[in-house]
Amino acid sequence: MSELFKVEAVGSEKYTLGEGPCYDPRYKRLSWVDIVGRKLLFLKDGKKESVDLPQQVGAAIPLAGSDGFALAMEDGIYLYKDGKIDLFLDLKNVFKDYWRSNDAKADAKGRLWFGASVGDDDHEAEGNLYLYNNGKLDIKVADTKISNGMAWSADKKKFFFSDSLKYAVFVYDYDEESGSISGGKVLFIVQDGVPDGLTIDSEDNLWVAFWGGSRIEKRSGETGELLKSIPIPAKQVTSCCFGDDDMKTLYITTAATGLEGEFDGCLFKMRTDVEGVTPDYCLV
């Protein structure tokens, strides 16, 4: 039997809100976060480790030039280096007091893209998608509902972005030199579940996680056409990334929030037939 697309849990540990997986080939290290559990997690050489954090954390982006991370947290961007956590970018006067950072990615120029989203159930979903570059913070997409998955095409001319509670993945024209985006349009609309985190493969196709949808979808980055739907034995599928030496293993995070299924909240992996794209690293 083919091992392709055979989904298996990576251990039995469950995470309240697993998110933001990222495989760093420099260190052969998979990292991800548990937003609500306030943890930064690692998998390296088959061994899992975790770091307790002082706030909820939306994403951990590997740093250029070190094995540390930029942490997108409740009130700012923090740097985790050499076992220490220090505030880098204070967002207390940028975020509303009930916002927190959500998904984040670095682009090929080392700039940091991150979303702000509502961190509780008492307010309507709202926020913005931000870009931090060399001391300057800009809003790139205003009035988002829940900023989530981000990716860039191989030629760096397209930017993909999922706004979860608009139930759509969008595509923008992208200028790599300036970091500007324009001409945003819907790539595809979601009918079942909520589009969450996503990644892109070497053929410019998107792999999208579906919160409430128990699946990963492979979608054409050109047309949005559904190419493959892969069932995941957990309801809240949150994000995914490619990893391992050949970058053909898809790692998948899920959330156990309010659920008691056998695999809800587990980390999963599956072998695929395509290479993923290595991550970009944050220059701060």
Q: How far is CA 262 from the centre of its chain?
A: 24
Distance CA 77, CA 73 (A): 6
Distance CA 275, CA 279 (A): 12
- Structure tokens belonging to residue 118: 């509502």
196 in active site = yes
In the chain, what is the straight-line distance between the N-terminal and C-terminal CA atoms, in Å? 46
- Structure tokens belonging to residue 30: 């998979």
From the list 95, 129, 132, 94, the residue with the least C-alpha distance to 112 is: 132
Contacts of 178 (CB under 8 A, 6+ apart): none
Q: Which of 24, 75, 196, 264 is catalytic?
A: 196
Name the amino acid, one letter, at 40: L
- Provide the annotated active-site residues: 196
